[in-house]
Structure 1
């Protein structure tokens, strides 16, 4: 277990990252890549529906794009930990350029074929998962430990920005010409590939490059064993999964509330953009809270805040107040997402970060799927007022569990001891990496030397 609850472990200031060339290259490359993927996500839907007039056909492509979240996560995490991260990210970019480029060419030639789109959507999403897992783990090798919080916050802000800009950009590009969203995505992945080629630092610790024994299933099992063995990590993941289910109810509930209040679909769109903006603001300011409260208090505080805010949706008098409550909830989500991902990546050693990240994403995907089913059932079987009160009551239970799981002096002392052990482990890893780099530096001058005389 790492120093996830220790305030000083995340005391870096976001501004210091601007001088870190390799981090900026990774950040920009992953950001434009995510922007391209967001553009294609809406591009597939528009292309299929407008080409066929079939909502079922459009849903099949969406299903193909979402399926990797359930079937690719675990093997991707194990493989990312085994493979060289830089090479993995390069190959993922090249694969996406080829796959999406084939769609752009097919659309330009007016030869759209549904099975082709489904295969490309699945391949693109699978490669995107591998890329994201590798990039998320690699970031911790290009920033010092006191900037982990700032780097994670910057990455979460980037994800929110891609969500805000990507789909509107894809819609606008499709209106210009049908192949444009896919051509745009190809360009974004090319830029991502180029930025990655200019990163100088090694993206893995020396120990992580060792060829560990065992097959794919054994490595996946090792990841699960590690996560289950970490008491506080296990508790945190349980809280995140439970709250994700409720967020699915809130998402569908927002549509129902707007309709009941006499709003229109554009109103829903505006509120979703506002939520994304506040989520990004929460991520951007998360390092402030991390430095002062630490992850343990953030987990308790955000869950308590949600328990107070969610029941208010049942009592809010109008869309303005409802929008403000949703915005505050998503502001807390931005902070919580940074704290949660930082928790996981700090808890896991370098050679397990891909698997730990994949397990988290699998739990999130599973919770979102269950939440979507629960949301439809709940909102169809009762009034929106009762549904929001049920959500608020469930969130209250989750908040109590958060306080019981992470509150108290004894738990703070345990995590402080974890902080000291983690600092020792990181120092040893940095010494090993420095020794490896020194060895390479000593070997380089000997290359090309000729005997004297």
Structure 2
């Protein structure tokens, strides 16, 4: 550990990622707050989430083959400063009283374009500046710092809004993203003497689909995740009006509510890390999802903020338990040479439901109420997991064997 903190390049990257993580958390918080304060519309809340997620998904799908060809440090700096530049719009216009809702949609789209470029470039850059025997510890420090920013960011953002106003959150995120880019400028460029030619996303996706044909349980897990993420996509934009209106909370309490979910994820990752691999993965995965659905029902019924805080913690806990087991399932079953292709399909299946959920969820909340929305989402998650539990195909979740699949078979079938 001491050797890492004697590495100037790693220290600069670590500080840059910490500033970036805090700025990203603040950007989500500030956008949500501004949209709801200006419009009071739940449909507008869902729409700004869709405006962020659609370009985010598109960039994740298509940018992969190009990131290895571009200078990683420059990509990261572009991501930070492009987002910072976008937030100059509300920083300048809000105090003048000239800020309009469409400005915030524009900022949301810009953030959705730039944000997904940072993480993969950063992960690749770490491998450029650290020796192989230091990568595990280096990644652990960076990941842990990111989790801390997710824990602190919402609460700190809520505290700043409550005490000083949203202008200070906007200024803080501008400084954070700008500082992140400046720190990265002090680091050397990555040494890409050879450019690896990567397959296009279309090729990876097509070959990934062929694998799902012979190992269909993974495909149906992906479909299940699409339904689950539709629920989360519907709920996420509504949590701000839920805390403010339904529970009578403040901006700081909304920040605590969001931090409770992140803290639950942190606790769940620690719990999963110290336990042995489950012998019955099907039971662990589906039970975690079912309990998450019950917690949605709890959020729909409780009028007490402190109860909602506990339920949010529980949702984060069970969500990460499922995610870790789901990721491990894919890593163990999919052959090395097909892993990237299969994960391309998995990402699309998992994320496709998020913008759909955001659009539908905001409509239901606006037409009926947030409590009705949370009730519907909880029932949807519980019903989905019950159907999957009763389906014999999901018994294959307990199979630990790597699928036998020759890449030549894939090529012949295309």
Change (3 A) 1:305 1:115: closer
Residues 347-385 of structure 1 deviation map (CA, whole Å, 9 limit, x = unaligned): 6979996x8777655433322234456667699698977
The aligned counterpart of 1:221 is: 202
Are the aligned partners of 1:97 and 1:189 in contact in 2 as well (CA < 8 Å)? Answer: yes
Residues 143-183 of structure 1 deviation map (CA, whole Å, 9 limit, x = unaligned): 7599769947963x555544443344444445636543333
Residues 106-163 of structure 1 deviation map (CA, whole Å, 9 limit, x = unaligned): 44666546555443332232111111333345556657599769947963x5555444
Distance across 1 between alignment mates of 2:373 and 2:51: 33
Q: How does 1:28-427 map to 2 (within 5 A)?
A: 28-47=15-34, 55=41, 63-101=50-88, 103-107=90-94, 112=99, 115-138=102-125, 142=130, 144=132, 151=139, 155=143, 158-174=145-161, 176=164, 179-197=167-185, 202=190, 209-211=195-197, 219-231=200-212, 234=219, 237-247=222-232, 263-265=247-249, 271-289=257-275, 292-293=276-277, 301-307=284-290, 310-311=293-294, 324=310, 327-338=313-324, 340=326, 360-372=346-358, 388=378, 391-399=381-389, 403-408=394-399, 412-414=400-402
Distance across 2 between alignment mates of 1:263 and 1:338: 32
Residues 13-57 of structure 1 deviation map (CA, whole Å, 9 limit, x = unaligned): xx799669566654543332132122233333444665x567477
- TM-score of the two chains, using structure 2 as the length reference: 0.67
SS of the residue 1:191 aligns to: helix
Residues 267-290 of structure 1 deviation map (CA, whole Å, 9 limit, x = unaligned): 77655442221112223454434x
Residues 74-109 of structure 1 deviation map (CA, whole Å, 9 limit, x = unaligned): 223343244333332122223233333454344466
The runs of 5 or more residues in structure 1 that have no matched partner are: 1-14, 213-217, 419-453
Distance across 2 between alignment mates of 1:194 and 1:126: 20
Distance across 2 between alignment mates of 1:400 and 1:150: 43
Change (3 A) 1:159 1:365: farther
1:224 Cα deviation from its structure 2 partner: 0.7
Q: Which has the larger radius of gyration?
A: 1
Distance across 2 between alignment mates of 1:305 and 1:105: 45
Change (3 A) 1:228 1:104: same
Change (3 A) 1:252 1:186: closer
Distance across 2 between alignment mates of 1:201 and 1:336: 38
Change (3 A) 1:369 1:225: same
- TM-score of the two chains, using structure 1 as the length reference: 0.63
Asked which structure has the greater RCO (Cα within 8 Å, sep 6+), the reply is: 1
Distance across 1 between alignment mates of 2:390 and 2:182: 48
Distance across 2 between alignment mates of 1:308 and 1:275: 15
